[in-house]
Amino acid sequence: MISAKGWKKDVSVTTKTLKREEIQAFQKDIYRYYECHRRDLPWRKTRDPYHILVSEIMLQQTQVERVIEKYEKFITVFPDPSSLAGASLKDVLGVWQGLGYNRRARSLMLTAGIIVTMYDGKMPVSVGELSGLPGIGKTTAGEIAAFAFNLPVVFIETNIRRVFIHHFFPEESAVKDREIMPLVEATLDREHPRDWYYALMDYGSMLKKVVKNPNRQSAHYKKQSSFANSDRQIRGAILRILLRESALTRSELQRKVNVEPDRAERILAGMTGEGLVREDNGEYRVA
C-alpha cells in the first residue's frame, strides 16, 4: 500500500500532487486485489443502461446482499423503461417491498416515464442529464455513466471514500470529499473506468470488514439512526398494510402500526406529499 508520508494538508485542501509512480503503485494495489476477489454481482453481467439504473437506485443506502434478492425479480417484472412507466405504483411497491426507502421506487417510476417520453426509451448518457432525473444525484449519475457507458467520470461513493481515506489520510480526521476528489481524478484508469470503479468498490467493501471503518474519518460521516420504531419503519409498515388491505382510515392505520395519533398524522402527511399514498374520502390507499 502507498505510504501517506510526505502528504501535506493546508486548511481543507490537499496540496500534494501524485507522481506517476505513485499512481501506478496505487492502481496496481487495487487491481491486484480485484483480480483475485472481484464480487460476482448480477448487475455487473449486463450493459443494459436501464438495468444498471435499477441496480444503482436499489443500492442507494442499501446493502448489496439485500439488493441481490430483489434486483433480478424487479427486472423480470419490469424489463424496460416502458414496462415500469406503465405500471401502477402499487404493483411496483409490491415488488420493491423489503428494500426500504420506498420513495426510491416512485422516483424510479418517474425516471422511467421521462426516459420513455423525452428520450425515446433510451437512457441519457451525460452526467448532467442523468443527474436531473428523479432520484438521481451526481453520485448515482456518475455510477451509471461509468458502469453503463464506460465513461471516465469522477465521483465518490461510500466504498471509494473508504479506500482513499485509508490509503492517503490514515491519520486525518474530518476529511472532506473535495480533498479526496482530486485524488480520484488523478488515479482514474481512463481507459477502463468501469473495471476501475468496480475494483475500487470491491476493495472498499473488503476494508470495511478488516479495518476500523475509515469513513468515520470523513467530514461527511453520519451514524445511521436506529431503525426500530423510527419513522422509516412505520412508513414501511403502513405501505405493507395498504398493499395488503387496499384502503384504511387514518385511525385504522394508526391502530395497526401502534403509534400516537399525532405521529400517524404527520407520517401520513409526509407520505401523501411524496406521492406514495393518497387520501380519498377519509381513506388512505397507495397512490
Q: Which residues pair with 284 in a beta bridge?
A: 248, 279
CB-based contacts of 217, cutoff 8 Å, min separation 6: 165, 169, 172, 173, 174, 175
pLDDT digits (tens, 9 = 90+) for 150-160: 999 999 999 99
Cell of 286: 397507495
- Nearest in space to 231 (alpha carbons), one of 115, 102, 123, 128: 102
Position 282, amino acid: G
- pLDDT 10s digits, 20-55: 999 999 999 999 999 999 999 999 999 999 999 999
State the catalytic residue, choosing from 35, 56, 129, 279: 56
10 strand-pairing partners: 13
Q: How far apart are the C-alpha atoms of 63 and 120, rounded to whole Å?
A: 32
**Cα separation, 253 vs 235, whole angstroms:** 11
- The answer, yes or no, to whether residue 12 has pLDDT greater than 60, is no
Give yes or no: 56 in active site.
yes
Predicted confidence (pLDDT) per residue in 71-127, tens digit? 999 999 999 999 999 999 999 999 999 998 999 999 999 999 999 999 999 999 999
Query: Which domains occur in the chain, in start order?
Result: 9-37+154-217 (1.10.1670), 42-149 (1.10.340.30), 231-286 (1.10.10.10)
Q: pTM of whole model > 0.75?
A: yes
As given in the structure block, the three cell numbers for residue 161 are 471514500
d(CA 97, CA 92): 9
Maximum Cα–Cα distance for the chain, whole Å? 69
Query: How far apart, in whole angstroms, are the C-alpha atoms of residue 238 and residue 286?
Result: 10
pLDDT attached to residue 227: 78
| DSSP single-letter state for residue 221 | -
Instruction: Tell me if 286 sits within 8 A of 242, measured CB to CB.
Output: yes
Q: Catalogue the E-assigned strands of 66-184.
A: none
